[in-house]
Chain A
Amino acid sequence: MSVTKPLPHDSGPLHVTGQARYVDDIPTPANCLHLAFGTSSIARGTVTAMDLDPVRTAPGVVAVLTADDLPFANDVSPSIHDEPLLSVGTVHYVGQPIFVVAATSHHAARRAAAKARITYAEEAPILTVDQAVAAGQYFDDGPRVWQKGDTDAALAAAPHRLRGRLEMGGQEHFYLESHASMVAPQEGGDVVVYSSTQHPTEIQHKVAEALGVPMNAVRVEARRMGGGFGGKESQGNALACACAVIAVKTGRPVKMRYDRDDDMTITGKRHDFRIDYDVGFDDTGRIKGIDFQQYTRGGWALDLTIPVADRAMLHADNAYLLDHARITSHRLRTNTQSATAYRGFGGPQGIFGIERVMDHIAHTLGLDPIAVRQVNYYHNMGPVRAGKVSGNTTPYGMEVRDFILDEMTEKLLADANYADRKAAIADWNAKNPILKRGIGFSPVKFGISFTLTHLNQAGALVHVYQDGSIHLNHGGTEMGQGLFQKVAQVAASRFGVDVSLVKITATDTGKVPNTSATAASSGSDLNGMAAKAACDTIRDRMANCLAELHQCPVERVRFEDGKVRVGDNEMTFEQAAATCYQNRVSLSATGFYKTPDLSWDRAKGQGRPFFYFSHGAALTEVVIDTLTGENRILRTDIIHDVGRSLNPALDKGQVEGAFVQGAGWLTTEELVWDDKGRLRTHAPSTYKIPACSDRPEVFNVELWDGENPEATIYRSKAVGEPPFNLGMSAFFALSDAAAACGPNYPMLDAPATAERVLQAVKRARG
């Protein structure tokens, strides 16, 4: 069977030879126009005068549009229509598009856009958490509170109590391919859109609104992205809509791609968070009661801030059974880029909060941080399934039935030789006054499903041609993660053929409609199942035809090893397909899947929002220089749960990349806005993502040998987001190294740049 094989990424050879085609690689049609936005230079205010004549008369300029020139909807929001494509006179952040220039080249458009003369009536921007709280700038009608038990009583009765604050920065997606769209106008006002997007249906929907046409007049095609990470879930709408409007207006093809600085300045990023905690616990570190206040800057428009902040609340427990918990979420409106989806979608921020609490409790009690985590773990899957334990529920009332972190943790600690290494590190630190080592652990339990329940659906379209070759299409998008190969492996397995017979094709709203974003780690779960359903429909039709022809029971028709066995007869899949065609069997089918057993009441914060949980655990060792705060990751060991892996090579790659990206978020990646609201880190010269040389020198990644107890595609589990959280082990290792310098808890914040590590060392020393 093709599934479970560690096949390489289907586009690997195309990636490394440069043949893989991205939007900007599509041969540009003759007469194509290129767009650039003119953007706001202030964070908050009103446009009082705008002279665009210098833009219009610049070389190569064909058209300049402001909000008044748009034919229909002026909105690119994925949620509540609060995000105009072009400003309607007020501006809300530095970088907000105010007008769009169409010119004969990319550079002509950018140069022309810089020539606008705009004057503003400036207002004081709201930039920080404190400013937004003081001004009452809330999304979602104020703070949201979900709770379980009686938190105040539990806190009051607990033997120990601790309060603290954790600040964590946002994160730029830094996909290697920046945003890009191209629109080819068709007859009768229709358009075809090529977009670098995780959500072709959303692009179709917003382009249709912008053109004032039904969705059937817009077809969106997306072959691949050069990275998405959530940054292409909603942020591509502006480019596609601008291109479509101008394509229809001029009758010419139109392309737009963001320059890197423009991309970083205009588009949203991961939500930064402040988390205040108040926790009561006993002598073993077991949490009796906990109160979280989560504050996040959502930026100027709503975008996806509500579900992101919800997921932060839904992961405030991470892997720990909390009997009494209250989680308050403040979703704040600020004059910055509209923060958006980013791998983990708020989950990592929520998890980071309680992981800091675990670390802080352990330091306070002088206990091993891993032991404190273990006493707080949810009960294991075994006893729960056997009905021996009750009350193994999350703060939102979902029973945890598949928890496996006890065994995973034990195995990781044994394989990575934790106890000996911890002792060796202590010895080493005692002898070395300047360099200090630290070791950190972080587990993850991550909920899989879209929390907006209706999004948990997917479709596929499969054709078998008369020569036995297979055409596969589904609603998922390829952003480098290997989804297409995994789904192709599913299709090949259903037909019992080699994966090379399956042609992987671009995501296309004309083939599979009404898709959800490829997000929430759900790509393989949803699209794998939909493709399976389509393949099985065709296979069953073929089996019925062949059984009848050969006068054998249909149960005796088997598709395996590239052959079709019909009773005692055997033929190639190609012969079987030809025979079925000649016997007038439909060899094309759609497939559909919706995740079962979900129910979620968001208002109450109660229900079963997730189909299952994915687990992982990481142990990381670092060394810091206590004179400068410089640091290196020396070794990381990971065990991660992907159920029965569809493709261990791709899954391992996802785990490795996710760890590095997660560690980058918490260490070197720092977003800095100045007091005017200008993002000062908008290029690789100022914003440091991890490079290949920043990965751990020793990097052991193992996939947990298990299977999903839920009936997912071949019992696999989602992999995209959960291992991102394992980067936290690097952060807690840095904190541990700083703690080796003195008696105090270092209270390290993120990102742990060298300077912050040095400050943490000083706090530890006191």
Chain B
Amino acid sequence: MYAFDIERPTTIADAVAALGAEDAQALGGGQTLIPTLKQRLAMPSKLVSLTAIPELKGVCVADDGALCIGGGTTHATVAAQAAAHYPALAALAGGIGDPAVRNRGTIGGSLANNDPAACYPAAALASGATIVTNARQMAADDYFQGLFTTALDEGEIITEVRFPVPDRAAYMKFQQPASRFALTGVFVAKYADGVRVAVTGASEGGVFRWTEAEAALSADFSADAVAGLSVSSNGMMGDVHGTPDYRAHLVKVMTKRAVAAA
């Protein structure tokens, strides 16, 4: 690591102020950022830890029924506390990484980082979640902008994520066997006004919605409904763990599995 200062504010306002410094960087659970720093791939002047801010933590249900999760809530907490309200989301959180990652990593950190193989972006996009920051609210459709890229501005903090709770939903992840990242993961959510399907781990552009499947599943919510569809391997990731063809193939298989499990 390069040298840096660290602050641990206790309110969102103090955190925003601290992030105003040049090259300051927010630190959530550190499950991505700390290894990145260790490899000297980033050189922030100051880290602003968000782990001591009570208002960023916790799971609750809003008046409109949406599940609201504080940006600083760990995966383990979501797995435990969202289970009664949004089981598919809780199951997703419970399947991220390993216990160490789940007890440190946060939903806000995951969404802000937007790793193309992360699980949470699929849930947020498929649920049509609202990303709430210290400054504004964004629809998930506007929020994700490509590999490690989001609509967040410098110094902006995700304070809360609001998930409309679907009638039925499931997340199916094909794990890269060594790291357990999603080689391809698909989140399917069925709402009264239609079905949303979000795919992570597969595309060079990061998480995306499979709109053909959404249309087919909105008309007929069954695994057979997507049987006639195919996914192009153009723009799919190819790496040491899988070819673009394999990932394209898995999108459909995981979608069918998710529909069957929802």
Instruction: Check if B250 sits within 8 Å of A628, measured CB to CB.
Output: yes
User: Given the complex of chains A and B, what is the CA–CA distance between A680 and B178 in angstroms?
Assistant: 13
CB distance from A627 to the nearest CB of B (A): 5
Q: A670, A686, A758: which contacts B179 (Cβ < 8 A)?
A: A686
Instruction: Check if B179 sits within 8 Å of A685, measured CB to CB.
Output: yes
Instruction: Check if B243 sits within 8 Å of A672, measured CB to CB.
Output: no
Contact with B along A610-637 (1 / 0, CB 8 A): 0000000000000000011010000000
Does A684 touch B at the CB level, under 8 Å? Answer: yes
Contact with A along B159-178 (1 / 0, CB 8 A): 00000000000000010011
Instruction: Name A665-684 residues within 8 Å CB distance of B.
Output: 668, 670, 672, 680-681, 684
CB distance from A351 to the nearest CB of B (A): 26
Between A630, A681, A755, the greatest number of chain B beta carbons within 10 A of the residue's beta carbon is seen for A755
Instruction: Check if B174 sits within 8 Å of A755, measured CB to CB.
Output: no
User: Given the complex of chains A and B, what is the CA–CA distance between A754 and B174 in angstroms?
Assistant: 10
Instruction: Check if B174 sits within 8 Å of A628, measured CB to CB.
Output: yes
User: Given the complex of chains A and B, what is the CA–CA distance between A684 and B178 in angstroms?
Assistant: 6
Instruction: Name A745-766 residues within 8 Å CB distance of B.
Output: 754-755, 758
**Residue in chain B with minimal CB distance to A755:** B246
Instruction: Check if A686 sits within 8 Å of B178, measured CB to CB.
Output: yes
Set of chain A residues within 8 Å of B253, measured between Cβ atoms: 627-628
Q: B177, B179, B240, B250: which contacts A672 (Cβ < 8 A)?
A: B240
Set of chain B residues within 8 Å of A758, measured between Cβ atoms: 246, 249
CB distance from B213 to the nearest CB of A (A): 16
Does A687 touch B at the CB level, under 8 Å? Answer: yes
Does B99 touch A at the CB level, under 8 Å? Answer: no
Does B20 touch A at the CB level, under 8 Å? Answer: no
**Residue in chain A with minimal CB distance to B246:** A755
CB distance from A592 to the nearest CB of B (A): 46
Instruction: Name A685-709 residues within 8 Å CB distance of B.
Output: 685-688
Instruction: Check if B240 sits within 8 Å of A686, measured CB to CB.
Output: yes
How many inter-chain contacts with C-beta < 8 Å in the A-B complex? 28
Instruction: Check if B241 sits within 8 Å of A686, measured CB to CB.
Output: yes
Set of chain A residues within 8 Å of B178, measured between Cβ atoms: 684-688
**Residue in chain A with minimal CB distance to B35:** A685
Instruction: Check if B179 sits within 8 Å of A755, measured CB to CB.
Output: no
Instruction: Check if A755 sits within 8 Å of B177, measured CB to CB.
Output: no
Set of chain A residues within 8 Å of B241, measured between Cβ atoms: 686
Chain A contact residues, majority secondary structure: loop
Instruction: Name A638-677 residues within 8 Å CB distance of B.
Output: 668, 670, 672
Set of chain B residues within 8 Å of A688, measured between Cβ atoms: 177-178
Set of chain A residues within 8 Å of B179, measured between Cβ atoms: 685-686
Set of chain A residues within 8 Å of B246, measured between Cβ atoms: 755, 758
CB distance from B23 to the nearest CB of A (A): 22
CB distance from B185 to the nearest CB of A (A): 13
Does B54 touch A at the CB level, under 8 Å? Answer: no
Does B242 touch A at the CB level, under 8 Å? Answer: yes
User: Given the complex of chains A and B, what is the CA–CA distance between A700 and B49 in angstroms?
Assistant: 52
CB distance from B69 to the nearest CB of A (A): 27
CB distance from B205 to the nearest CB of A (A): 22
Set of chain A residues within 8 Å of B243, measured between Cβ atoms: 755
User: Given the complex of chains A and B, what is the CA–CA distance between A270 and B243 in angstroms?
Assistant: 25
User: Given the complex of chains A and B, what is the CA–CA distance between A303 and B250 in angstroms?
Assistant: 42
Set of chain A residues within 8 Å of B249, measured between Cβ atoms: 628, 758
User: Given the complex of chains A and B, what is the CA–CA distance between A670 and B240 in angstroms?
Assistant: 9
Instruction: Name B224-262 residues within 8 Å CB distance of A.
Output: 240-243, 246, 249-250, 253
User: Given the complex of chains A and B, what is the CA–CA distance between A685 and B175 in angstroms?
Assistant: 12
Contact with B along A270-286 (1 / 0, CB 8 A): 00000000000000000
CB distance from A552 to the nearest CB of B (A): 68
User: Given the complex of chains A and B, what is the CA–CA distance between A670 and B242 in angstroms?
Assistant: 11
Between B177, B241, B246, B249, the greatest number of chain A beta carbons within 10 A of the residue's beta carbon is seen for B177
User: Given the complex of chains A and B, what is the CA–CA distance between A688 and B175 in angstroms?
Assistant: 12
Contact with A along B110-134 (1 / 0, CB 8 A): 0000000000000000000000000
Contact with A along B12-26 (1 / 0, CB 8 A): 000000000000000
- Given A685-B178, A688-B178 in contact, is the A680-B240 Cβ separation under 8 Å? yes
CB distance from A252 to the nearest CB of B (A): 28
Contact with B along A135-165 (1 / 0, CB 8 A): 0000000000000000000000000000000
Instruction: Name B127-147 residues within 8 Å CB distance of A.
Output: none
User: Given the complex of chains A and B, what is the CA–CA distance between A670 and B241 in angstroms?
Assistant: 9
**Residue in chain A with minimal CB distance to B250:** A628
CB distance from B2 to the nearest CB of A (A): 11
User: Given the complex of chains A and B, what is the CA–CA distance between A755 and B238 in angstroms?
Assistant: 12
Set of chain A residues within 8 Å of B240, measured between Cβ atoms: 670, 672, 680-681, 686
CB distance from A132 to the nearest CB of B (A): 22
CB distance from A670 to the nearest CB of B (A): 8
Instruction: Check if A668 sits within 8 Å of B242, measured CB to CB.
Output: no
User: Given the complex of chains A and B, what is the CA–CA distance between A184 and B243 in angstroms?
Assistant: 50
CB distance from A236 to the nearest CB of B (A): 26
Set of chain B residues within 8 Å of A687, measured between Cβ atoms: 178
CB distance from B141 to the nearest CB of A (A): 29
User: Given the complex of chains A and B, what is the CA–CA distance between A754 and B179 in angstroms?
Assistant: 15
User: Given the complex of chains A and B, what is the CA–CA distance between A681 and B179 in angstroms?
Assistant: 11
Set of chain B residues within 8 Å of A681, measured between Cβ atoms: 240
**Residue in chain A with minimal CB distance to B239:** A680
CB distance from A372 to the nearest CB of B (A): 33
**Residue in chain A with minimal CB distance to B178:** A688
Contact with A along B66-79 (1 / 0, CB 8 A): 00000000000000
Instruction: Check if B250 sits within 8 Å of A668, measured CB to CB.
Output: no
**Residue in chain A with minimal CB distance to B174:** A628
User: Given the complex of chains A and B, what is the CA–CA distance between A687 and B178 in angstroms?
Assistant: 6
**Residue in chain A with minimal CB distance to B252:** A627
**Residue in chain A with minimal CB distance to B181:** A685
User: Given the complex of chains A and B, what is the CA–CA distance between A628 and B247 in angstroms?
Assistant: 10
Between A668, A672, A687, A754, the greatest number of chain B beta carbons within 10 A of the residue's beta carbon is seen for A754
Between B240, B243, B253, the greatest number of chain A beta carbons within 10 A of the residue's beta carbon is seen for B240
User: Given the complex of chains A and B, what is the CA–CA distance between A630 and B177 in angstroms?
Assistant: 10
CB distance from A436 to the nearest CB of B (A): 15
Set of chain A residues within 8 Å of B174, measured between Cβ atoms: 628, 630, 754
CB distance from B105 to the nearest CB of A (A): 15
CB distance from A687 to the nearest CB of B (A): 6
Contact with A along B211-224 (1 / 0, CB 8 A): 00000000000000
Set of chain A residues within 8 Å of B177, measured between Cβ atoms: 668, 688, 754
User: Given the complex of chains A and B, what is the CA–CA distance between A189 and B177 in angstroms?
Assistant: 50
User: Given the complex of chains A and B, what is the CA–CA distance between A321 and B122 in angstroms?
Assistant: 57
Contact with B along A585-604 (1 / 0, CB 8 A): 00000000000000000000
Instruction: Name B171-204 residues within 8 Å CB distance of A.
Output: 174, 177-179
CB distance from A671 to the nearest CB of B (A): 9
Contact with B along A725-763 (1 / 0, CB 8 A): 000000000000000000000000000001100100000
Q: A627, A685, A686, A755: which contacts B242 (Cβ < 8 A)?
A: A755
**Residue in chain B with minimal CB distance to A667:** B177
User: Given the complex of chains A and B, what is the CA–CA distance between A457 and B250 in angstroms?
Assistant: 55
CB distance from B236 to the nearest CB of A (A): 13
CB distance from A457 to the nearest CB of B (A): 42
Set of chain B residues within 8 Å of A680, measured between Cβ atoms: 240
User: Given the complex of chains A and B, what is the CA–CA distance between A628 and B243 in angstroms?
Assistant: 13
User: Given the complex of chains A and B, what is the CA–CA distance between A670 and B176 in angstroms?
Assistant: 12
- B residues adjacent to A (C-beta < 8 A): 174, 177-179, 240-243, 246, 249-250, 253
Known: A688-B178, A758-B246. 5 other contacts (CB 8 A): A628-B174, A680-B240, A685-B178, A754-B174, A755-B246
A-B residue pairs in contact (CB < 8 Å), sample of 26: A627-B253, A628-B174, A628-B249, A628-B250, A628-B253, A630-B174, A668-B177, A670-B240, A672-B240, A680-B240, A681-B240, A684-B178, A685-B179, A686-B178, A686-B179, A686-B240, A686-B241, A687-B178, A688-B177, A688-B178, A754-B174, A754-B177, A755-B242, A755-B243, A755-B246, A758-B246
- A residues adjacent to B (C-beta < 8 A): 627-628, 630, 668, 670, 672, 680-681, 684-688, 754-755, 758
Q: Which 9 A-B pairs have the closest CB atoms?
A: A688-B178, A672-B240, A685-B179, A688-B177, A627-B253, A755-B246, A680-B240, A686-B178, A628-B253
